[in-house]
Amino acid sequence: MPAIRLQLSKGEGQFSLSFKGNMNLTAKYVADGRILILPIQGNGDALVDAQGVEVHIDSKLILEKDSKGDHMKLATPKYRYTIERTVFDLKNLFNGNKQLADTTLQFANENWQQLMDELSPPAIKQIVKTVVKAINKFLSKVDIHQIIKGYTED
């Protein structure tokens, strides 16, 4: 369940949003290089199952006035996140060599945190951008008085 906190006074404020869930990514992969210290080679289907992904977004909240009324907007959002566990499943590693594939996947799954330190930042950044854009789109369409009953700019 997401948690939302909103503080607003004199046309400025703070907005916080936290949410937690699991993320599954399915894709095609092509690999020929190293995964941390182990060689990796193959191409095929990939499944990355990130469990317990918790994202916290904190943002300045500003008031904008236009011909349709007074609207809030998230400005300069910052975020942080944690991931409880990640499981990798890559098909056709080493052209189907089960022994090499199993060893590599075991290594990847035992060292998931190091791998996700490299892989997750762009994905989480895109999620945050999408969430902030959706919130700002909503806020641009709804007057602040419809969101906060009795709002005044004191």
Q: What is the mean pLDDT of residues 148-152?
A: 75
Record the pTM. Answer: 0.84
In a domain, 108, yes or no: yes
What's the pLDDT score for residue 25?
93
- Listed residue (23, 30, 13, 11) closest to 130, CA to CA: 23
The answer to whether residue 102 sits within a structural domain is: yes
Three-class DSSP category at 143: coil
Would residue 142 count as lying in a domain? yes
Q: Are the beta carbons of 83 and 51 closer than 8 angstroms? A: yes
Q: What is the pLDDT of residues 68-117, one digit of tens each?
A: 888 999 999 999 999 999 999 999 999 999 999 999 999 999 999 999 99
38 lies in which domain range? 3-147
Q: Is residue 63 part of a domain?
A: yes
The pair phi, psi for residue 38, each rounded to 5°, is -95, 145
**Is position 84 within any domain?**
yes
Count of other CB atoms within 10 angstroms of residue 88? 22
Q: Which two tokens stand for residue 20?
A: 């937690």
pLDDT at 150: 75
* pLDDT tens sequence across 1-50: 567 777 777 778 899 999 999 999 999 999 999 988 889 999 999 999 99
Whether 40 is in a domain gets the answer: yes
Q: Is 153 a member of any domain?
A: no
Torsions phi, psi of 81, nearest 5? -155, 160
Instruction: Give the number of domains in the chain.
Output: 1
Any idea what the CATH number is for the domain that residue 10 is in? Answer: 3.15.10.30
The answer to whether position 154 is within a domain reads: no
Question: pLDDT confidence of 153, banded at 50, 70, 90?
Answer: low
